[in-house]
Structure 1
């Protein structure tokens, strides 16, 4: 049977807030859908919302992850200084603006794991074999995180991280309501088989989705 493979290269921001809302922002530099950003929101009551910039993106994402509500709206993301700065440089900021959400995150230093991940070539990070090998380790080291698993429509998904940087502060408003201060991503977000790390972070990642 012929399989189809999609590869997405970019970064994922995962943060929790004192209101109980958890937010996952995906910024994809390259993908079969072009470059785009989307936001996954889980409210304190468990209601899951997708903010997607187009119907095409929404259809693909909802075919892979689970949501209770989808909103089609522009998603603008700005990474000050063009991305993660050197560990001895000034703090970088990561901001998101949509009609529903505004978010500004302050990025801290690269973690020890981030330094280790930077040594992995992207072509290796994109390999499902590497994700299969690292999955048992990720489950233990990063609560809620898995690097492989089953997605919607019979798809299999593999995550290959290539960098990890902490988030030290966040401000956000959803539908005009202040979401409070930064907290761990706890409980883990429930959009798919894996959550972002419990400690708020920006992860550079290569995501491979295989449909058989």
Structure 2
């Protein structure tokens, strides 16, 4: 399925990790290796009181992410998600988070059976959306936001087996389930801490810029 006449599609390829903590802070980190905005990392953080924050490396990423998700506060600060031997070291002025990934889950093993070209296709994402809602509570694989249509094609899934760090200088405590579900937008991270290999496809009208005005 290709884009309709007068519309275009762009893709973001990377991984998304989500974890909760005993402090009540819930965090979703994106590590994007290929995108129209270059390679970058970003983090969405929800405090126990429900305050939702975006940490992004530059205004373009802020405008792109904020066109899909909702935040009470945005912070533009250097942020990296550096690969370690078994996970990521996420660092910004506000956030320090060390994640350790485990082996593929049952879902991850099943995803490996789907040819990558199929798994990343919008038609497949649309077909699997009803299943994703049941298997991974809160997760959607397609959505319409304003002028955008978006599809999330998962190609791998692993557990997060350890998470530690601090936010705003205060310890996050031990890893916990991502509950209550963060309220960033139409699709959330699964309740169990995990990392997903994903290709996000976005369709826009030809006259609509990927990144809105400042």
With normalisation by structure 2, the TM-score equals 0.90
Cα displacement (A) at 1:154: 2.4
In structure 1, what is the Cα distance between the partners aligned to 2:82 and 2:114?
26
Distance in 2 (alpha carbons) for counterparts of 1:22 and 1:134: 26
Q: 2:196 aligns with which of 180, 198, 203?
A: 203
Q: Which residue of 1 aligns with 2:87?
A: 93
Q: Distance in 1 between matches of 2:9 and 2:180?
A: 31
d(CA) in 2 for partners of 1:120 and 1:79?
A: 26
Partner of 1:89: none
Q: CA deviation at 1:36?
A: 0.6
Q: Which position in structure 1 is the counterpart of 2:154?
A: 161
Unaligned runs of 5+ in 2: 206-214
Residue from 54, 61, 72 that aligns with 1:57: 61
Residue in structure 2 matching 1:72, options 39, 54, 76: 76
Write out per-residue CA displacement over residues 122-181 of structure 1, whole angstroms, 9 at most, x where no aligned residue. Answer: 332221111111111111111111111123x32121111000000111112111011111
Out of 132, 142, 147, which is 1:148 matched to? 142
- Alpha-carbon displacement from aligned partner over 1:99-144 (angstroms, at most 9, x marks no partner): 0100001211111110111233333222111111111111111111
Helix, strand or coil: the match of 1:204?
strand
- Are the counterparts in 1 of residues 141 and 151 from structure 2 also a CA contact under 8 Å? yes
Q: TM-score, with normalisation over the residues of structure 1? A: 0.91
How well do the aligned residues superpose, as a CA RMSD in angstroms?
A: 1.3
Q: Is the 8 A contact 1:122 1:206 kept in 2?
A: no
Structure 1 unaligned spans of 5+: 82-91
**2:27 alignment partner in structure 1:** 23
